[in-house]
Amino acid sequence: MRFKTSLLLAITALLFIGCTSKTPYTNRSQFILLSQSQELALGEQTYKETLDKSKVIMNTIQAKMVKNIGAKIAKVANKKDYEWEFNLVQNSEKNAFCLPGGKVVVYTGIFSVAKNEDQLATVISHEIAHALARHGAERMSQSMVAQGIQVVGNIVVGSQAPQYTQAFNVAYGLGSQYGVLMPYGRMQESEADEIGVHLMKQAGYDLNEALKFWENMSQGNSEGIEFFSTHPNSKTRIENIKRIIKELNKK
């Protein structure tokens, strides 16, 4: 039992070593276990599966707008190893996402709140920012580490105080979710906002429209307590973007 515990602790320590990188513009240090090639392969596979299950809108004014804005922002992102693609998909949700490798999907529902090209650029630049900062791989790495620690904890608790194993699992699950994974999600969303604003400025879009877009998104939405969410509340988000715009205007 001691050998197994020591082995698992050693494995967990190796997980923590991982590899580090820096996010663009914000220069935040990251811990990522996945290689870029693994991440790109996962993104490509998920992207194909998504399009196969969706109704892709082609050659409409909105579809062309998505592609044109996407290409403009991707140019300033200057990520030459990404094969950028931008598609509009029929879905009433106000949403969009970018998979590793630059595969961007925009839902038609976003046009109910993105009232012009600059506001749509806010959405697309935000999603591109997630891909540039490798947020998906970072979240996967965090989950892998969290699961590894829980396995080790179960063995240690099981060998020393087996009656507390269930309580440990419940407590650890809540602790890792609310104490690590959700705050990480909120941090990544705020970071994507910041990187996105930088990309918008470089691509020549009106930064004030970013504020108007998020104001549109917040209208009619009842938001819960931020601590229990993976996304920052609209008020927090808008204040952060105002601060970023102010800092950029000083340069």
What would the pLDDT profile of 179-196 be if each residue is shown by its tens digit? Answer: 333 444 678 889 999 999
Distance CA 184, CA 33 (A): 16
Q: Tell me: the pLDDT tens digits for 10-50?
A: 545 545 545 567 899 999 888 777 777 877 887 888 889 88
Distance CA 213, CA 123 (A): 8
**Strand partners of residue 98:** 104
Distance CA 227, CA 179 (A): 9
Higher pLDDT, residue 237 or 5: 237
Q: pLDDT category, 86, cuts 50, 70, 90?
A: very high
Distance CA 72, CA 203 (A): 6
Mean pLDDT of 105-112: 94
Query: CA 55, 59, 65: angle at the middle one, nearest 5?
Result: 100
Q: pLDDT category, 231, cuts 50, 70, 90?
A: low
Which has the closest alpha carbon to 76: 198, 199, 175, 220? Answer: 199
Inform me whether the pLDDT recorded for 203 exceeds 70. yes
Residue holding tokens 């104490």?
179
Copy the structure tokens of residue 1.
């039992």
Distance CA 122, CA 129 (A): 10
Copy the structure tokens of residue 244.
């970023």
Which has the closest alpha carbon to 126: 189, 69, 79, 72? Answer: 189
SS3 107: strand
Q: pLDDT category, 144, cuts 50, 70, 90?
A: low
- Which helix (H) or strand (E) segment holds residue 83: the answer is none
State how beta strands 85-89 and 103-107 pair. Answer: parallel
Output the CA torsion 38→72→185→223 (10° steps). -150
Share of the chain above pLDDT 70, in %: 69
Mean pLDDT of 54-71: 97
